[in-house]
Structure 1
Amino acid sequence: MNFVHPVDIDALVEFLRLCPPLDTLDAKRLARAAERATVTPYGTGEVILDAFVQPERGLYVVWHGRVSVWTNPDRIRELPAYHLGPTEMFGYVATLLGEAVGPRVAASGDAVVVHLDPDLVDPVFATRHGAQLLAREIGTSRRMMAHGAIPTYTLVDDLIVTAPLLVEPTTTIAEAAARMEKTGLPYAAVRQENGGYGLLTDADIRRAIASASPVTGEVSTAMQTDPPSIRLGSSAAEALITVLESHGDVVLVTDRAGGLRGAVASRDFVVSSTTAGASLHEQIHRAETVDDLKDRYRSVPGMLTGLMARGLAPSRIITVHSAVIDAAVRRTIELVSEQYPDLSPDAFTWLSLGSNGRREALLSSDIDAAASFDNALDAGEIAKYRPMFLKIAEVLEQAGLAHDRHGVSPVNSKFARTHADWARAGRDWITAPEVDDAVIMTCLLVDGRPIHGDRGLPQVTRVFGDLRMHPRTMSMLLSASIAQSSRPAPWRRKKIDLKAQFLLPIANVARWAALSVGSTALPTDERLLAASGSDMLTEPDATALADAFDAVQGIRLAWQMEQATADRTPTDVVRPEHLTPVDRAILAEATRVVTSSQRRMGNMARFIMPER
């Protein structure tokens, strides 16, 4: 052991025993680690580790004092991202990934740091506690960047350059225009009674003037009442796609609580290096022919690989991917419908179901869908659309999207009904959940999201708004969500199905939990957040499930990118030998999290759920 402080091995062993996940090591391994450790004192500002330059292998633990940590190489000159104190560790992410992903660490005042042998790192993080720590830190597989180590202007947060301009609804248009001119902003957010925000842009003011509306009128007469918005932490690509899909120029940015934090306009995106997804989205949106669309969509794997290389978080990459899928489906509907002039594309709403409905689709995902028709059409008229839907499925398949034309697809008459028929079917499923496949259909439609036609809440989805008032149906849905067969099978097998064994069980729990609190959220993480702290889902369980979901999605994304790069068809099935010890530890931890959460929900249901 190399050290400057007067410390013996026994004292170091006792200290290491206080540092999770090192506390999982037996006495013999701890003693060996202490014997091979280096203990070094540092003065204020002295650099301990700069893993952006080159990852120095090993595991660092703060013994005395405090250290400052920078997680973004572009922000080294700014304040540190956070500080670490005694028993807290760093450096393991770069060691495990073998990449220069950071962080940079320097002493905050006098500090003493223990540097442990790199051979200790893999065994430590292969334990349950080690996997928990790693999942919280990176939530990814070996090819992902460390949390926070991403280029400037990757996130929408980086694009907000000034405080938001917020006005009251009684402010006059002229007043708002003057304030916009003074601040140099192309918009004014308008406070609304429901707690949300309206939006007034330069374009809105020009339209008001063109329609001869008096500029002395209130902004509420000219503003957008339901403007596009996005949360802090979203990628710049997501924000730009939101702007493009709204056919506007400005998107509001809010925090998780819904508070206004700023806005970004089209001009703000020129500094971002991660808007390739938005560029491809727009190219697909403007495709002039079916062949053109197919060619452009085939570049999606390359776009996803590029976003990964720039360090964008897996969850953000997947959201961008889902938006590009939406654009491809919408444009396919528009182009194919031109070949059927006697059929109106305005007569139906296209509902995206399943993982893409939840905005969680990857390259291997089936594009499940349904169509909801205008009530004026009868069964015979709806049947005339079947050839068009078959052609849509064919184009999507040729472009690289797995569209099931015989199963969950508008090609199947079971998934092509009028608005009224869907609503009637939904009520039947709720009142008689044991009949046929009522539970399966309910789960599919609850995940429904309209991407063509009427973008409002579909009638069938509105039917499920009071689902929690039907205890028998809720009990059956809960049973399906926490059933033994739904639990992840032991991962020590010849093949691991990342979706079926890990992701679907979490998505099922999240769906049920969200329904139990009346939430209409679709993404799994948002559903878990909405139900967190409820009678059936504790806050620790919700957080652990969300962490596990993100971590496994990261592993799944990396695996599919690896397959796509090798020109293999992306799948959810992977052999254990293709995973690192850390990946396997994360999967083992995900198994434990899901099964324990399911068990607790089942136990709580006996006391909380009303009688059937």
Structure 2
Amino acid sequence: MTTSIAEFLAGYPPFDALADEKLARIAEASRIEDHESGSTIMNGFVDQIEELAVVVSGQVELWNTPDHKPDGPDEILGPGGVFGYSAMLTGSAIGPLALAAGPVRVYRIPGHTVRPVFSSLAGAEFLARKLTVAQRIDSSSINSYGTVSELLRTAPVVGSADMTVQQAAQKISEHHGGYIVIPVDDGRFGVLTDRDIRARVVATGSDLNQPVRDVMTFPAITAVTTTPASEVLVDILERGVTCVPVIDPRGTLCGVVVPEDFVNAPAGAGMSLRDQIARADSIDTLADRGRRMRYVAADLLRRGRPSFEVTAVLSVLTDAVVRRALEIVLPSRPDLDPSALTWLSLGSNARRESVLSSDVDSAVSFDESVSDPEQIAAYRAAFAEVGEVLRQCGLGVDLNGATADMPLFSRTHSQWRAVAGQWLESPLDNKGMILASLLLDGRPIWGDPGATAVSEVFRELRQHPGTMRLLLAESLSYKAKLRSMRDVLSRRGGTFDIKSHALIPVINIARWAALSVQSPEVGTRGRLAAAAGSAMLSEDNANTLVEVFEVLQKIRLTYQVAQLDHGESATDVLTMQRLSPLDRSLLGQAVREVSAVQRRMDNMSHYMSVKQWSEPEVSGRQG
């Protein structure tokens, strides 16, 4: 053990310049500590620090001020990160506060053993770097993973569907991977993990000699090598899987990724915060951790991460806050059954496109057992309390928007089915198209995801050509433009509503296009990709809109982070003079591109039937 400690320390400053005998003495005096997510590793503002700490695995969040405000850590340290030296060397209560961002292992080194290191040239250089380089985030400890292929480390452990569970368990043990991938003749894959074996075979007393095909997870969720790592991480978290086979575009197995592979990925800090949110034991703690979401997003943006990754992380964190708020509020009302409802996220959060100005829209679908008006009123009162918790967490909840405490957005499954059917038949009545658009973006995040009937009804949309045409007309009515008539009349030419005049037109096109090809995709980028090459949306136009959407979201997020830095509230109304010349130029070009696609789709709709809309684009047709 002493040898392994010495070998580890030798790879990081200031220990990498030490002679072997000095490293051996330090290693012999060191001890290992393991910490759970969210626990305090060190508080140099309260305790007298007599030891140095070195991160062995996981990530540690450091605060260099004693008030620990919810504005995110001053530093995030990965393996090899050193902390506690300032308080140890000076004997003063100058911090830091160190918290575990996920499971963490550290080495503790006594001060009397390690102080001489800082008297050496290597120690002086280490302190000089730390004291003169202002770093909000220790970027050297966080890798810039882009696609999931960059996370692959070893060859996958592969078995066969005919092998016994006992044989699979032996192979899993030999490779220390915790899983085995099972290729199937149709090109798909199954997965069996050691956790599956314990739960499905050992715990139930099943036969260890039964074939793997009887107990494996099939079909396994897979990811193509070019898939953004952040998207795969979201799948792992939201679907509760422990490993994802990675395949190349031809379907060949390349490897497997597991949750631990994402610890040092750029989104890792956000996922650590998600874990802390899920563990919040009170509303005050939840509010404290929820308010840190915006700073995680800002840090990701400053590291140059693509906007779709930033918004996906924000959406995952928002989901976590909503779930935890429900877990805290509903049990406090013993007359309510938490299992009798399905909570749907709506709007931008449902599409995983949350930004700093986004409101949290929601709806609820009740079991048929929830029929008493007084009981439903009690549920809605609880949902209003959840909304107040979300506001304390720094999330926007529009009092006049789509929220689960409103009668319009909380109904039983059968009531939702009935009203959705009415919207299909008469979309112009009772705000039918507006409500349909909201629910088409719905994503269940609590309860039975298959319980709601709304999505089933909307699958029948193509059987209502008149409604499809009205939805298209409604989608194209939000014109992409740099100035509205209201701007002209009010002489407010120096601002631009990036949401209303640029992003909503793209979102609407994507939503309608996905409907036209019967795609279940919810996100704007996924919807555009699914409909690319259809008669109404050429592949070139779809690709253009994907690029435009990314540009617009990046400008929007960058502007909102700057507002955050200035103590302002995030908004979608941009003051043009505050944008760089390049961003102003990109904004103008983006609006022109969206407007051109809108005109094309409007023209095409006049001489094509609804049936033709989803057919492949005619060869040679110009986009």
After superposition, residues 252-267 of structure 1 pair within 5 angstroms as 252-253=245-246, 260-267=253-260
1: CA distance, partners of 2:535 / 2:435 = 26
1:482 aligns with 2:476: yes
Residue 518 of structure 1 corresponds to 518
Q: Which amino acid aligns with 2:165?
A: I
Q: Which amino acid aligns with 2:166?
A: A
Seen in structure 2, the aligned counterparts of structure 1 residues 282 and 257 have a Cα distance that, compared at 3 Å, is farther
Query: What SS does the aligned partner of 1:389 have?
Result: helix
1:576 aligns with 2:569: no
Seen in structure 2, the aligned counterparts of structure 1 residues 254 and 551 have a Cα distance that, compared at 3 Å, is farther
1:403 aligns with 2:381: no
1: CA distance, partners of 2:545 / 2:322 = 31
Query: What SS does the aligned partner of 2:506 have?
Result: helix
Seen in structure 2, the aligned counterparts of structure 1 residues 418 and 435 have a Cα distance that, compared at 3 Å, is same
Residue 86 of structure 1 corresponds to none
Seen in structure 2, the aligned counterparts of structure 1 residues 260 and 415 have a Cα distance that, compared at 3 Å, is farther
After superposition, residues 159-238 of structure 1 pair within 5 angstroms as 159-191=151-183, 196-207=188-199, 208-225=201-218, 232=225, 236=229
Given that 1:236 and 1:275 are in contact with CA atoms closer than 8 Å, whether structure 2 keeps it comes out as no
Query: What SS does the aligned partner of 1:312 have?
Result: coil
Query: What SS does the aligned partner of 1:402 have?
Result: coil
Seen in structure 2, the aligned counterparts of structure 1 residues 494 and 531 have a Cα distance that, compared at 3 Å, is same
Seen in structure 2, the aligned counterparts of structure 1 residues 328 and 261 have a Cα distance that, compared at 3 Å, is farther
Query: What SS does the aligned partner of 2:460 have?
Result: helix
1: CA distance, partners of 2:538 / 2:263 = 42
Given that 2:143 and 2:264 are in contact with CA atoms closer than 8 Å, whether structure 1 keeps it comes out as no
Residue 425 of structure 1 corresponds to 419
Residue 560 of structure 1 corresponds to 560
Q: Which amino acid aligns with 1:198?
A: G
Q: Which amino acid aligns with 1:461?
A: S
Given that 2:536 and 2:601 are in contact with CA atoms closer than 8 Å, whether structure 1 keeps it comes out as yes
Given that 2:344 and 2:364 are in contact with CA atoms closer than 8 Å, whether structure 1 keeps it comes out as yes
The alpha-carbon deviation at position 175 of structure 1 amounts to 3.4
Q: Which amino acid aligns with 2:280?
A: A
Q: Which amino acid aligns with 1:481?
A: S
Greater relative contact order (Cα 8 A, min sep 6): structure 1 or 2? 1
User: Quick one: which of 245, 250, 253 aligns to 2:243?
Assistant: 250
After superposition, residues 316-395 of structure 1 pair within 5 angstroms as 316-378=309-371, 380=373, 381-395=375-389
Task: String of CA shifts for 1:468-524, please: whole Å, max 9, x gaps.
Answer: 2210110000001112x4333449931111111111100000000000000010000
2: CA distance, partners of 1:194 / 1:560 = 48
Task: String of CA shifts for 1:420-454, please: whole Å, max 9, x gaps.
Answer: 11111111111111222111111111100000111
Q: Which amino acid aligns with 2:463?
A: M
The number of aligned residues is: 462
Seen in structure 2, the aligned counterparts of structure 1 residues 332 and 490 have a Cα distance that, compared at 3 Å, is same
Task: String of CA shifts for 1:111-164, please: whole Å, max 9, x gaps.
Answer: xxxxxxxxxxxxxxxxxxxxxxxxxxxxxxxxxxxxxxx944454322111344
TM-score by length of 1: 0.71
C-alpha RMSD of the superposition: 2.5
After superposition, residues 449-598 of structure 1 pair within 5 angstroms as 449-456=443-450, 458-483=452-477, 485-490=478-483, 493-598=493-598
1: CA distance, partners of 2:250 / 2:609 = 29
Point out where structure 1 has 5 or more consecutive residues left out of the alignment: 1-149
The alpha-carbon deviation at position 462 of structure 1 amounts to 1.4
The alpha-carbon deviation at position 180 of structure 1 amounts to 3.2
2: CA distance, partners of 1:449 / 1:254 = 27
Residue 291 of structure 2 corresponds to 298
Query: What SS does the aligned partner of 1:190 have?
Result: strand
User: Quick one: which of 306, 310, 314 aligns to 2:303?
Assistant: 310
Task: String of CA shifts for 1:318-363, please: whole Å, max 9, x gaps.
Answer: 1111000000001001111122111111111000011111110111
1: CA distance, partners of 2:320 / 2:165 = 35
1:413 aligns with 2:407: yes
Q: Which amino acid aligns with 2:411?
A: R
Task: String of CA shifts for 1:224-271, please: whole Å, max 9, x gaps.
Answer: 346555554556555455444445532344567877543212333344
Query: What SS does the aligned partner of 1:385 have?
Result: helix
1: CA distance, partners of 2:452 / 2:306 = 31
Seen in structure 2, the aligned counterparts of structure 1 residues 195 and 570 have a Cα distance that, compared at 3 Å, is farther
1: CA distance, partners of 2:533 / 2:393 = 43
Given that 1:352 and 1:367 are in contact with CA atoms closer than 8 Å, whether structure 2 keeps it comes out as yes
After superposition, residues 68-147 of structure 1 pair within 5 angstroms as none
Q: Which amino acid aligns with 1:572?
A: D
The alpha-carbon deviation at position 465 of structure 1 amounts to 1.2
Given that 2:363 and 2:410 are in contact with CA atoms closer than 8 Å, whether structure 1 keeps it comes out as yes
279-288 or 265-274, larger mean C-alpha shift: 265-274
The alpha-carbon deviation at position 183 of structure 1 amounts to 4.5
Query: What SS does the aligned partner of 1:420 have?
Result: helix
Residue 23 of structure 2 corresponds to none
1:157 aligns with 2:152: no
2: CA distance, partners of 1:508 / 1:187 = 42
Given that 1:237 and 1:277 are in contact with CA atoms closer than 8 Å, whether structure 2 keeps it comes out as no
The alpha-carbon deviation at position 560 of structure 1 amounts to 0.9
Query: What SS does the aligned partner of 1:458 have?
Result: coil
Given that 2:342 and 2:451 are in contact with CA atoms closer than 8 Å, whether structure 1 keeps it comes out as no
2: CA distance, partners of 1:257 / 1:516 = 28
The alpha-carbon deviation at position 568 of structure 1 amounts to 1.0
Q: Which amino acid aligns with 1:592?
A: R
The alpha-carbon deviation at position 550 of structure 1 amounts to 0.5
User: Quick one: which of 267, 271, 281 aligns to 1:288?
Assistant: 281
Query: What SS does the aligned partner of 2:537 have?
Result: coil
2: CA distance, partners of 1:167 / 1:463 = 41
Given that 2:358 and 2:396 are in contact with CA atoms closer than 8 Å, whether structure 1 keeps it comes out as yes
2: CA distance, partners of 1:367 / 1:580 = 30
1: CA distance, partners of 2:536 / 2:230 = 36
Given that 1:198 and 1:227 are in contact with CA atoms closer than 8 Å, whether structure 2 keeps it comes out as yes
Task: String of CA shifts for 1:537-560, please: whole Å, max 9, x gaps.
Answer: 000000001100011001111111
Q: Which amino acid aligns with 2:298?
A: T
Q: Which amino acid aligns with 2:585?
A: A
The alpha-carbon deviation at position 284 of structure 1 amounts to 0.4
1: CA distance, partners of 2:397 / 2:179 = 41
Identity of matched residues, %: 39
2: CA distance, partners of 1:584 / 1:249 = 44
Query: What SS does the aligned partner of 2:191 have?
Result: strand
1: CA distance, partners of 2:451 / 2:248 = 24
Given that 2:480 and 2:592 are in contact with CA atoms closer than 8 Å, whether structure 1 keeps it comes out as no
Point out where structure 2 has 5 or more consecutive residues left out of the alignment: 1-141, 488-492, 613-623
Q: Which amino acid aligns with 1:331?
A: R
TM-score by length of 2: 0.70
